[in-house]
């Protein structure tokens, strides 16, 4: 996850573990979604939905769990509580091959699946890397079980990585 540093005035500088991640956050900022703080338990953003007034709305997300990128998983994620609706959401970003294998294809029409496949094919023929993003709404019990299982896996010495996977 990217760190945020404030330079002179209101200028923000993003620093992250990979160029992909920094590029994604910088693109979001160019679309008026600015990450202003990223801590262990909080993520703060400002969004401007009205370019005429420039009025920004601040959002304060409760972070429940971060899953850092690993080369084995080829993805990263964050489990957080959305301040807009109070729902727990799992947001993931990763390699197209990994992300597509985890999509519930009943959740969106075949035409969308075909468009994604077309874009990925076109990008790969041009030598471009693609990342996909996804989101899942998680209920309280599923979240508690997930966090419990992660904590138990982290206690293991020998099979920690496999169990966390």
Phi, psi at 26, each rounded to 5°: -65, -40
Q: Specify the pTM.
A: 0.80
The domains located in the chain, with CATH, are: 3-164 (3.40.1110)
pLDDT of residue 38: 84
pLDDT of residue 81: 95
Strands across the sheet containing 131-138: 33-38, 42-48, 56-70, 75-81, 88-95, 131-138
pLDDT of residue 103: 84
pLDDT of residue 39: 86
Residues in the chain predicted with pLDDT less than 50, given as ranges, are 1, 6-7
Distance CA 29, CA 20 (A): 14
pLDDT of residue 11: 67
Contact 34, 58 (CB under 8 A): no
């Amino acid at each position: 996850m990217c760190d945020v540093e404030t330079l002179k005035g209101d200028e923000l500088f993003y620093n992250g573990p990979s160029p992909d991640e920094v590029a994604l956050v910088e693109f979001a900022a160019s679309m008026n979604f600015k990450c202003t703080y990223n801590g262990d338990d909080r993520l703060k953003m400002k969004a401007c939905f009205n370019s005429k007034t420039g009025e920004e709305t601040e959002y304060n997300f409760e972070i429940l769990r971060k899953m850092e990128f690993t080369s084995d998983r080829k993805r990263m994620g964050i489990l957080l509580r959305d301040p807009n609706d109070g729902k727990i959401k799992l947001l993931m970003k990763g390699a197209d091959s990994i992300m597509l294998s985890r999509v519930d294809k009943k959740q969106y029409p075949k035409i969308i699946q075909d468009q994604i496949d077309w874009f990925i094919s076109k990008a790969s023929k041009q030598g471009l890397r693609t990342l996909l993003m996804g989101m899942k709404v998680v209920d309280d019990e599923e979240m508690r079980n997930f966090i419990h299982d992660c904590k138990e896996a982290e206690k293991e010495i020998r099979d920690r990585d496999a169990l966390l996977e």
